[in-house]
Every structure is written in C-alpha cells, then in structure tokens.
Structure 1
C-alpha cells in the first residue's frame, strides 16, 4: 500500500463544483478481515469511478467497518466516501470515528439513519439511534468549524464534504421532501439517491429540487442480474419498487444480466440531464460495472 497523502484534494467535491459529471460506486467490506476484494474492485474501477462509498453494516448485516474500508481506499490512492449510520453508534462514538477518518485524510461523508436491525443478520442486537441523519449533519458541520457538538474546541478540525441520502420514488413523496430540505438547512452539500427504476417519478422529484442550485444530486443506478433478484429486492429492501415491466424484461431475456445492464444504462441516460452524476450499485457483480459504463456512455 502507498502512504496516505494527507494534503490531497477532494476529487468528488472538485468535480461536482466544476460541473463535471461524476461517477460513484459502492464497495461492501467482507464479513471478516480480508480486504482483497475491496482492493481488486478498486483497481478495476479506479480510472472510471470518481469516489467509492464504503458501506456501513449495509442492510443491518455485520461487516468490517466503513472506517477501516475508507482508510484502505486512501492507502490505495483513491477517493473514499465514508458512510455512517446512526443505528449502531451513539453521538460520542460517531464523533470519534469522524475525527479518526479525518486524521487519515478522508473528506467525504454520507450520513444515514440506517436500516432497522430486523432486516439484518443480528436481529437480537440493540439499535442505538441516539440521533438521526439530520442531527449528524449538524454535528459534522460543527466539526468542520472546529468544535464538537457540545461546543468544545478541537485540536484540528475536519474538512468533510457532507452527503446524505434521499428516496425520490418514496410513496408518498412529501415526507422525503420535508427531510430533504431539513438536511439542506443543516448543511448537506450533496445527495446520493436510492436506486431509481421509474424516471417519471424521479421527474417529480427533479421539479422540486432544481430550485436548489448549489445542491448536487447523484442518482442511484442499480444493475439487476435477474428477475429473481428484482423480486427479492421488492420484498426485502425498504423503499425499493421495481416495476413489473422491468421484471418481465428480465424474465424474458435470453441473457438476463446483459438485459439488466441495458436497463440500468437506459435509466441513467434518461436521468443524465437532471443530475450531477450517477451512483452505481452492482452487488456481487462489481466486475460488470465497466460494461455498464460502456453501455451508458456509448
């Protein structure tokens, strides 16, 4: 691993602020200490992905920490996005991990409340939810200005580019829009959306957020590998609804994965004029992301 350059810039922030269309993608740590998959996926995508999200016990399933993962990406020479959920830590632990990440040069953060414990593999764990994602944004804004949430001065402040999540296909949409505005008022700079499958619904969200000229929106794009996967997501992942039309296309395709890549690229192309980048999700098939990017960009 190469030494971490603590004085490096922020590719994500600089790209978005300079009007560049950015690409982000997710890397999920293993349930263990092996980082070979993170490294292999990073090496495959490093020339095409602007910044890499490291998930934080995604879906309430226990994995190696996001903090360790983002440090790995920094050591590889890449730009990480540190995910923090409020589900597993109280405010003191969240602040502590944020300071630790900043000490290693991490500059991007995605704030999440977190999926409920009942969805994951440690169903008897006790959820924390000491604060929510709006509160966490406020805390990070304070850390950036040199104080913790109690007003105590820091020996060295953070420099986080603050992100949050939004679901543009939520039904009803209004509660999402209220929280979206609260996150902006609290200091959020960019949003990564839940996976988009219905561009008409996204258009209604676009009509609302386009008035926020300084806020950057990165649309979530999920590569489906089969109709079975789509049905499982509809059943098991909160906030996801994949249409029957998409499921039928996958069901009737001779090569479902190829069709899934084509569907994802088509959605991304229809969204491109409304967003500042795309966030590519391809769980278990990260090696197919270059094929998706080729299809999207052709």
Structure 2
C-alpha cells in the first residue's frame, strides 16, 4: 500500500494515493537492453518519419492503456553501453517530445544525464528530468531543474554504465543507498529545487548484483518512507531471468520478461512504491486493477 505523496512537475501536481503511478518507457535508441532499435535501427539520430510516427503512436497507446507518465530516453544506460553526445541524444528525443506534447494529457519525463538535452526536452514539452546520475553527472543539471521548475528523479548508480557491473560491492547495500538518496535529496533542496519536485530511485540494476537487487526490492517500504516519492525501475532486468533460472522456472526459451516483471511490480506496489517504471504498460495497469480489487493494496490509503 503506497504512502500518500505529491510529485510536482513544471506544469502540474501529481497526487499519489494507495496505488503507484505507472511510468511507461519509450526508448528511442538503437541499443537499449530490452527494446533498443524499435524506433531507430542504427546509431543515427531518429529522423525517419515512419519511425518517428511509430514512437509517437506507442506513447499514445501507453496513455490509452492507463500510463500516468511517459519516460522518453535517447541514450542507452544498459551495462557496458557506449555513451552518445548531447547533439545526437537531443536529435533523438526532441522530435518525439514535440509531437507528443500537445497530444498527451499525462506528463512527459526526459531520461537524460545531460543538462543541454534536459533543457531542450523541457522546452519541447517535457516536465520531469529523470537522471540516472542523481543530478551529479552534469554540473549544470541542478540549475536547469531550478530554472525550469521541472520535477526530478534522483537515482543511485555505482560508477557509470561502462563500469557499474564490474564487481559491485557494498557493506550494507540498503543503508548505503538510503544515505546516498537522502544526501542527494538534501543537495537538491540546497540548490533550490522544491521538496515536492523530488523523487528518489534506488537504481535497480545500476551497479548492483542480482542479490543486491533483490535485497533492495525487499526494502521498498523503507525507501518509501524517506520523505519523497520512490520510483522502482525493475522492468525486464537481468536479475528476473536469473531468479527464474535459479528456481528452475525457465526451460529453453520459456523465459517471459513481462511475467517476471509483473510479479515484481505487484510486490513493490504492495510495499509502498509510488512510481513503477515499466515497458509493458497495459499489462501492468490491468494487473494493478485486479491486485487492488482483491485488496492487495489494502483497504486504507496511507498518510503523508
């Protein structure tokens, strides 16, 4: 059962009740781990009209299926992915956001760690900056967040995508990430970002082993009590397949990333997650509907 929370964007106030918001993932990249190449098949910017229209249509379909937000990304952050320059990333995401801005009734988030891309995306119609570096990767990012009044999602990542899976280790993964998120929240407040504009993300899969990921998921309720909305981004990640294999649930090609993701989604929803970031929006929304109807989210809403 989610604790009540508020997340302000540059244009609206999102009120989160007992069920989490569903953030739909729209990657316009050639190499994201799950859906890379869906709308762009090479390293070239997204310039093909057919691909652009397809990306826009998928976002509209996610809204119709019940998404509460759409997260647009133009650079893969999968393990060992190659970085792209700001110009390429901007050319991938801005045309999509421009076309969606007057057709969506839900907020658009820009998944970027570059201040130039974030500003261009917000000028095009985005309302939230989702930064995997916790607003630390680009020294200009906090200023962009303040100047645009964007909502921000501050994520924990050990290292960077090129190094984060090189033997990640922690003495106490939950406590260390909790302290990091609290420190980053305070840093955002100190630079002038309003408290209600800050969301926190423990960074499932970013510089963590499979066991670390499971430990963090079990601590969702603890993270949800840090004084800011908590986002969980677990969709289709490798630890799900590993767990299914370990439990002998995968036979040859029998692995279903959506089914595994749904299981985790319901668990973190019950534990108090405020936002869940997923590829499969329709299935997640339907699962939440039934989970809530069967009282999986509890009969009483939480309190601030």
* TM-score under structure 2 length normalisation: 0.61
Deviation at 1:180, TM superposition (A): 1.4
Structure 1 runs (4+) deviating above 6 angstroms are none
Deviation at 1:290, TM superposition (A): 1.9
- C-alpha spacing 1:253/1:268, structure 2 compared with 1 (3 Å): farther
Find the counterpart in structure 1 of residue 99 from structure 2: 72
**Contact 1:67 1:82 (C-alpha < 8 Å) held by counterparts:** no
Find the counterpart in structure 1 of residue 24 from structure 2: 25
Per-residue CA distance 1:10-38 (angstroms, 9 max, x = gap): 3xx4233x666210021011433131221
1:190 is aligned to 2:194: no
Matches within 5 A, 1:101-250: 101-113=121-133, 132-133=136-137, 135-136=139-140, 138-143=142-147, 158-166=148-156, 171-172=169-170, 173=173, 174-187=175-188, 189-195=198-204, 198-204=213-219, 206-207=221-222, 209-213=223-227, 215-223=228-236, 230=238, 241-242=239-240, 244-248=242-246, 249-250=248-249
**Contact 2:220 2:268 (C-alpha < 8 Å) held by counterparts:** no
Deviation at 1:40, TM superposition (A): 2.3
Deviation at 1:252, TM superposition (A): 2.4
- Give the number of the structure with larger relative contact order, counting CA–CA contacts within 8 Å between residues 6 or more apart: 2
Q: CA RMSD in A?
A: 3.5
Deviation at 1:97, TM superposition (A): 4.4
**Contact 1:199 1:271 (C-alpha < 8 Å) held by counterparts:** no
- C-alpha spacing 1:254/1:97, structure 2 compared with 1 (3 Å): closer
Alpha-carbon distance in 2 for matches of 1:137, 1:206: 29
- C-alpha spacing 1:193/1:72, structure 2 compared with 1 (3 Å): farther
Deviation at 1:52, TM superposition (A): 0.8
Matches within 5 A, 1:247-262: 247-248=245-246, 249-252=248-251, 255-257=254-256, 260-262=257-259
* TM-score under structure 1 length normalisation: 0.62
**Contact 1:15 1:22 (C-alpha < 8 Å) held by counterparts:** no
Deviation at 1:41, TM superposition (A): 1.1
- C-alpha spacing 1:218/1:210, structure 2 compared with 1 (3 Å): closer
- C-alpha spacing 1:216/1:268, structure 2 compared with 1 (3 Å): same
**Contact 1:262 1:292 (C-alpha < 8 Å) held by counterparts:** no
- C-alpha spacing 1:112/1:256, structure 2 compared with 1 (3 Å): closer
Find the counterpart in structure 2 of residue 82 from structure 1: 110
Out of 54, 58, 62, which is 1:41 matched to?
A: 58
Alpha-carbon distance in 1 for matches of 2:143, 2:124: 19
Deviation at 1:200, TM superposition (A): 4.0
Find the counterpart in structure 2 of residue 4 from structure 1: none
Unaligned runs of 5+ in 1: 1-7, 87-93, 115-130, 144-157, 225-229, 231-240, 282-287
**Contact 2:200 2:231 (C-alpha < 8 Å) held by counterparts:** yes
Alpha-carbon distance in 2 for matches of 1:15, 1:53: 18
